[in-house]
């Protein structure tokens, strides 16, 4: 796999016309350049030029005499923000729901093609903070609560981004797990929990050769992340794990003296001035850093190291040759003032990819399909997929089915139409969206009458639904980043609860009371209360997440069966918040200490430990077909840190539709290891498999993936004893079991 990936990366690098270098080669160039820089030039590379003073959300000072441009950084993890006429990609959480490394990498590459087209050097993503609590405001930017799935999401996203010569920025180091109080709360995370949970995705990012990381707003152990040597110092987490790139601050996440930050391991400060909550430590353009070097509190060796790290990222991806000049203005949303919007970087291929990921991440939670016999025109079908020739009347109900206000602040801070992405710096600045109603109308044409009620009116919705062959009713839940501006309908970034917004649960129930073929579609950033799911008139539920701008077409693809829904839940869904075992600290007198006492037990790991069976479990998702599993074989080779285990089995399509299965491998450690009962350690995308077809699946478990973090020896250690492997269609839908 690694060799194939390297070959692919080199091939893509060649196709995109840049020189991909090893770290060694990059540092040879970086060191030579640093030797040639003045103090002023060095600090100019290490500090931002000030917020709103230049085009990108982050900028360094150029060195024209050596041809080094201002290094341009821009949000964010789901496409270029603050610029119109770019593609609105799916959220990280939907990408996780595909359980497809192929799509994780393809999304990273497609996003980066657009960043490069605009001349942006650093894509500020992927976000990889775990969903410690389901209400965490920014969790949708990332890949869910499971560290292994998040690690794979991080690795393949970075591989995709950097394959076209754009730098990725792994964020946020570390544990930016709630929005309330994030500017100073102190996370207390023990060493083992940090390594196995919150740091694990960063380890995978390092293995993907990520060139930069971003330190978080919050503190660790009472010390700001951006001057925390435990995270960034020579013996801290990331350097001990072999990270060779640079660390930049989150915007305004720096506090205290220049030396506190620089000597603890911070390499670059952004955006370069004080933005209310912090920042400006190095001085706009780096003047304070220069003074610190002249005064001796930061030594020249360290200064040179900082500059070399920044330049190494730039040289590693060959950005010194042929990189497009910045050709947009990110500091104002488009449409106001005189802006150079630059060329459109939307492409048909990217649109198709967004649509593909949207359908591949749609999770079919329920399907009670029944078909009456008779001639095709006389027969009726309830549930999914819909059969166009058998539907004469249809109702489409709910605010979430229609166009949102695409000009609702720079940060998408409204929920007034379909929810395709959350708000904040991880959002898109959509110029373009195809909402469900548009895609349904286009597809249905004149084959059926469509009655709409595109609001959440509890009388109009059922009135539209009455007597229809099928009623599609929408509900959503949104969250986002703690803004510098406002809360959204009382939600300060983190959601207040797990309810659908705007009483949409009541709307769904009111529609189901009058329509015996009700299809519920949920657009949500995370788990929501689905207490109505057993209603007998609700024949199907599609959990479509936050799928990006092609939300309508990707939904139509799964509604009508052009695509068999491929999404699996990247978290557990339960209406009871207590089932998750963690809380968001909302109320506090000053910045709170948040003690991660649950340690390794979040989401399904906690539920397992308490024998809680959630409403819908981690990894769950139905298909229009059925899959059979057989022939489990487990081969163990080597021992200790050089061991590995290979698991093979066969997946067969045993139903009546072609479809793609997402088999998952869970590992139960020997009891002495002190691990959760079961942990995800493998998944794959198998298919599309034609009816009757089968495929052998191979999953490898590396020594580290069978290890625990041993705090005494400070190493990954494989516990001795018997491991149990379960393979199945979700954590609870176990099909095959074996041991080694």
Ligand X SMILES: *[C@@H]1O[C@H](CO)[C@@H](O)[C@H](O)[C@H]1NC(C)=O
Residues of this chain that interact with ligand X (CB under 6 A) are 2, 5-6, 9, 22, 24, 27-28, 31-33, 36, 65-66, 84-85, 159, 188, 190-191, 208-209, 220-221, 228, 230-231, 263, 299, 301-302, 308, 334, 341, 344, 366-368, 405, 407-409, 505, 512-516, 529, 531, 536-537, 575-576, 593, 595, 597, 622
- Cβ 234 vs Cβ 264: under 8 Å: no
Q: Which of 75, 250, 494, 557 is catalytic?
A: 250
Q: Which is nearer to ligand X, 166 or 668 (CB)?
A: 166
Angstrom distance (rounded) from CA 252 to CA 700: 42
Taking residue 542's Cβ as centre, other Cβ atoms within 10 Å add up to: 25
CB 107, min distance to ligand X, A: 15
CB of 301 to ligand X, least distance (A): 5
Q: Which is nearer to ligand X, 242 or 322 (CB)?
A: 242
Q: How far is the CB of 487 from ligand X (least distance, A)?
A: 14
The CA distance from 563 to 550, in Å, is 14
Q: Is the peptide bond before 271 cis (omega within 30 degrees of 0)?
A: yes
3-class secondary-structure state, position 305 = helix
Give the whole-angstrom CA distance, residue 604 versus residue 179.
23
CB of 722 to ligand X, least distance (A): 30
Quote the CA–CA distance of 612 and 634 in Å, as a whole number: 30
CB distance 27 to 311 below 8 Å = no
Residue pointed to by tokens 């640093």: 34
CB atoms within 10 A of CB 474: 30
Shorter beta-carbon distance to ligand X: residue 531 or 631: 531
Nearer to ligand X, 209 or 427 (CB): 209
In the block, which residue shows the tokens 């479990």? 617
Tokens of 77: 């993890």
Take residue 367 and report the two structure tokens written for it.
């399907």
68 backbone dihedrals φ, ψ, rounded to 5° = -90, 120
What residues contact residue 145 under an 8 Å CB cut-off, 6+ apart? 130, 131, 132, 570, 571, 602, 603, 604
Nearer to ligand X, 433 or 668 (CB): 433
Least distance in angstroms from the C-beta of 91 to ligand X: 21
**Looking at beta carbons only, is 220 or 418 nearer to ligand X?**
220
Task: Return the number of the residue (168 or 396) whose C-beta is nearest ligand X.
Answer: 168
- Closest to ligand X by CB, 626 or 695: 626
Residues β-bridged to residue 651:
629, 695
Residue whose CB is less far from ligand X, 228 or 418: 228
Per this entry, what is the length of the chain? 740
Tokens (6 digits) for 157: 């996203």
Q: What is the nearest approach in angstroms of ligand X to the Cβ of residue 191?
A: 4
Give me the phi and psi of 167, to 5 degrees please. Answer: -75, 140
Q: How far is the CB of 270 from ligand X (least distance, A)?
A: 21
Task: Tell me which residue of 248, 202, 197, 253 sits closest to 224, measured CA to CA.
Answer: 253
- C-alpha distances in Å from residue 566, one per residue of 190, 418, 501, 650, 653: 37, 21, 26, 18, 14
Residue number with CB closer to ligand X (364 or 647): 364
The residue assigned the tokens 């150029």 is 62
- Cβ closest to ligand X, residue 243 vs residue 723: 243
Q: How far is the CB of 163 from ligand X (least distance, A)?
A: 7
Cα 483 to Cα 181, 311, 411, distances in angstroms = 12, 32, 8
Least distance CB 649 / ligand X (angstroms): 24
Whole-number minimum distance, CB 740 to ligand X, in Å? 28
Those residues whose C-beta lies under 8 Å from the C-beta of residue 377, and which sit 6 or more positions away, are 389, 390
CB 232 within 8 A of CB 250: no
Task: Return the structure tokens found at 117.
Answer: 């087209």
For residue 408, the minimal CB distance to ligand X (Å) is: 4
CB of 287 to ligand X, least distance (A): 20
Q: Which residue is nearest to ligand X (CB)?
A: 230
Number of CB atoms found within 10 A of residue 42's CB: 23
Strand, helix or coil for residue 49: coil
Tokens 């023990």 belong to which residue? 190
How many secondary structure helices (H) and strands (E) does the chain include? Answer: 19, 29
Q: Residue 225: phi, psi to the nearest 5? A: -55, -35
Report which of 470, 463, 467 is spatially closest to residue 507, judged by C-alpha positions. Answer: 463
Q: Nearest approach, Cβ of 739 to ligand X (angstroms)?
A: 31
Contact partners, residue 180, CB within 8 Å, separation at least 6: 482, 492, 493, 494, 584, 585, 586, 588
**Read out DSSP for 564-601?**
------SS-B-S-GGGG--------SSSPEEE-TTTT-
Quick one: which H or E segment has residue 173? strand 167-173
Can 410 be counted among the known catalytic residues? Answer: no
Pair type for strands 449-453 and 167-173: unpaired
C-beta of residue 622 within 8 angstroms of C-beta of residue 383: no
Of 257 and 274, which has the nearer Cβ to ligand X?
Answer: 257
Comparing CA positions, the residue from 77, 80, 114 lying closest to residue 346 is 114
Residues labelled catalytic:
250
């Amino acid at each position: 796999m690694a060799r194939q990936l390297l070959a692919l990366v080199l091939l893509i690098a060649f196709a995109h016309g840049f020189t991909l270098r090893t770290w060694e080669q990059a540092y040879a160039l970086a060191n030579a350049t640093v030797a040639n820089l003045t103090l002023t030039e060095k600090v100019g590379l290490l500090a931002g030029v000030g917020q709103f003073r230049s085009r990108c959300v982050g900028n360094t000072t150029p060195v024209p005499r050596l041809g080094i441009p201002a290094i341009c950084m821009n949000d964010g993890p789901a496409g270029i923000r603050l610029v119109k006429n770019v593609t609105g990609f799916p959220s990280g959480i939907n990408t996780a729901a595909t359980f497809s490394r192929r799509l994780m990498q393809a999304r990273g590459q497609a996003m980066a093609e657009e960043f490069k087209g605009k001349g942006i050097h650093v894509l500020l993503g992927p976000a990889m903070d775990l969903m410690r609590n389901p209400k965490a405001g920014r969790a949708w930017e990332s890949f869910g609560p499971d560290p292994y799935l998040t690690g794979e999401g991080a690795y393949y996203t970075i591989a995709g981004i950097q394959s076209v010569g754009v730098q990725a920025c792994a964020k946020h180091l570390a544990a930016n797990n709630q929005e309330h109080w994030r500017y100073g709360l102190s996370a207390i995370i023990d060493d083992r929990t940090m390594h196995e949970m919150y740091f694990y995705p960063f380890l995978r990012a390092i293995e993907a050769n990520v060139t930069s990381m971003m330190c978080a707003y919050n503190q660790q152990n009472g010390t700001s992340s951006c001057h925390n040597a435990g995270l960034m110092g020579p013996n801290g987490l990331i350097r001990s794990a072999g990270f060779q790139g640079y660390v930049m601050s989150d915007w305004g996440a720096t506090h205290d003296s220049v030396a506190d930050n620089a000597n603890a391991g911070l390499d670059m400060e952004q955006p370069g001035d004080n933005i209310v909550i912090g920042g400006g430590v190095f001085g706009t353009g780096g003047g304070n850093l220069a003074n610190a070097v002249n005064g001796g509190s930061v030594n020249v060796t360290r200064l040179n190291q900082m500059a070399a790290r920044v330049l190494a990222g730039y040289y590693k991806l060959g950005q010194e040759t042929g990189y497009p000049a910045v050709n947009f203005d990110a500091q104002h949303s488009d449409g106001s003032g005189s802006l150079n919007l630059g060329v459109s970087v939307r492409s048909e291929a990217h649109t198709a990819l967004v649509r593909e990921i949207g359908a591949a991440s749609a999770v079919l939670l329920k399907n009670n399909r029944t078909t009456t016999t008779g001639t095709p025109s006389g027969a009726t079908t309830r549930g999914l997929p819909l059969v166009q020739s058998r539907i004469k009347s249809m109702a489409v109900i709910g605010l979430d089915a229609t166009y949102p206000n695409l000009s609702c602040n720079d940060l998408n801070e409204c929920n007034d139409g379909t929810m395709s992405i959350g708000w904040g710096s991880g959002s898109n600045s959509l110029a373009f969206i195809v909402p469900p109603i548009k895609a349904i109308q286009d597809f249905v044409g004149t084959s059926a009458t469509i009655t709409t009620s595109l609001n959440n009116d509890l009388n109009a919705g059922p009135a539209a639904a009455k007597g229809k062959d099928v009623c599609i009713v929408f509900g959503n839940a949104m969250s986002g980043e703690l803004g510098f501006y406002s809360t959204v309908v009382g939600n300060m970034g983190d959601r207040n609860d797990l309810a659908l917004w705007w009483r949409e649960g009541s709307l769904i129930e009111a529609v189901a009371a009058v329509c015996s073929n009700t299809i519920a579609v949920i657009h949500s950033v995370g788990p929501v209360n689905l207490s109505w799911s057993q209603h007998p008139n609700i024949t199907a539920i599609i959990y479509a997440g936050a799928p990006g701008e092609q939300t309508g077409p990707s939904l139509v693809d799964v509604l009508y069966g052009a695509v068999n829904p491929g999404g699996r839940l990247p978290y557990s869904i339960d209406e009871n918040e207590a089932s998750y075992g963690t809380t968001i600290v909302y109320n506090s007198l000053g910045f709170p200490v948040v003690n991660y006492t649950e340690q390794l037990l979040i989401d399904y790991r906690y539920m397992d430990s308490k024998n809680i069976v959630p409403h819908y479990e981690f990894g769950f998702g139905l298909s229009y077909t059925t899959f059979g599993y057989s022939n489990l074989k487990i081969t163990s080779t080597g021992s200790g840190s050089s061991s590995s285990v290979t698991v093979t089995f066969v997946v067969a399509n045993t139903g009546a539709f072609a479809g793609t299965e997402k088999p998952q491998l869970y590992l139960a450690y020997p009891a002495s290891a002190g691990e959760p009962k079961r942990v995800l350690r493998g998944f794959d995308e198998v298919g599309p498999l034609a009816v009757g077809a089968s495929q052998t699946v191979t999953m490898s478990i590396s020594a580290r993936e069978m290890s625990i973090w041993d705090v005494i020896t400070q190493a990954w250690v494989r516990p001795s004893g018997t491991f149990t492997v379960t393979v199945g269609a979700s954590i609870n839908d176990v099909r095959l079991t074996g041991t080694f």
